[in-house]
Homo-oligomer: A and B are copies of this chain.
């Protein structure tokens, strides 16, 4: 977004500050317990000030989550684009996910809040940004199937599975007390997926 006037610059600065504060509070206390008072204190402004830049708590948290989620989306897309085949792409996607949340632990609570809330089953559909995320993975698989790098599976179903595996492994890694080897986990997930989606299928 281009900044034209001084007012817009200040406004952008405030918005960014408040969103960063919101992320920190969510990281520290979780989504539900991230109160406006706590966010305001973290941002060093009064509670009322937040309402000059965001309509409501829901609005603030939604936009904050969208920023973080958008960043992950970008990383995943870039990871795919920088490799020509399924194996390289899967490795890059898995590494992008595990690495991203390793570096930015606080983002994960926001990601979780959105990916989980994304699927308020029986109520609404997925959140648009989560749909994008799944869509990116789906396209990756469609492409692999066309190229004959993977067997014919329902691409969206497989995308859901990959997303779930990444989510679960990141959660496990964050829960692990001592740091675990990133490469080993990436290799493991990729190998399971590559073999699992491989064309060759002749079991007993």
By a beta-carbon cutoff of 8 Å, the part of chain A in contact with chain B is 32, 87, 105, 112, 116, 119, 121-122, 125-126, 153-154, 157-158, 160-161, 163-165, 167-169, 171-172, 174-175, 184-185, 188-189, 191-198, 201, 203-204
The answer to whether residues A185 and B169 also contact, given A193-B196, A198-B195, A201-B191 and a CB cut-off of 8 A, is no
Residue numbers in B under 8 Å from A116 (CB-CB): 112, 116
The answer to whether residues A121 and B175 also contact, given A195-B201, A196-B191 and a CB cut-off of 8 A, is yes
A188 adjacent to B153 (CB under 8 Å): yes
> Can you spell out 28 A-B residue pairs with CB atoms less than 8 angstroms apart?
A32-B32, A105-B122, A112-B116, A119-B172, A121-B175, A125-B175, A154-B184, A157-B169, A157-B172, A157-B185, A158-B192, A160-B168, A160-B172, A161-B165, A161-B168, A161-B169, A161-B188, A163-B168, A164-B164, A164-B165, A164-B167, A164-B168, A164-B171, A167-B168, A192-B192, A192-B196, A194-B203, A196-B196
List of 6 A-B pairs having minimum Cβ-Cβ separation, nearest first: A164-B168, A196-B196, A192-B196, A121-B174, A121-B175, A160-B172
Q: A157 vs B121: C-alpha distance in the bound complex, in angstroms?
A: 28
A119 adjacent to B164 (CB under 8 Å): no
Residue of B nearest to A189 (CB): B161
Q: A204 vs B87: C-alpha distance in the bound complex, in angstroms?
A: 10
Q: A144 vs B10: C-alpha distance in the bound complex, in angstroms?
A: 61
The answer to whether residues A192 and B161 also contact, given A87-B203, A204-B87 and a CB cut-off of 8 A, is yes
Residue numbers in B under 8 Å from A165 (CB-CB): 161, 164-165, 168
B175 adjacent to A119 (CB under 8 Å): yes
Residue numbers in B under 8 Å from A203 (CB-CB): 87, 194-195
Residue numbers in B under 8 Å from A193 (CB-CB): 192, 196
Q: A196 vs B203: C-alpha distance in the bound complex, in angstroms?
A: 12
Residue numbers in B under 8 Å from A188 (CB-CB): 153-154, 157-158, 161
Residue numbers in B under 8 Å from A169 (CB-CB): 157, 160-161, 164
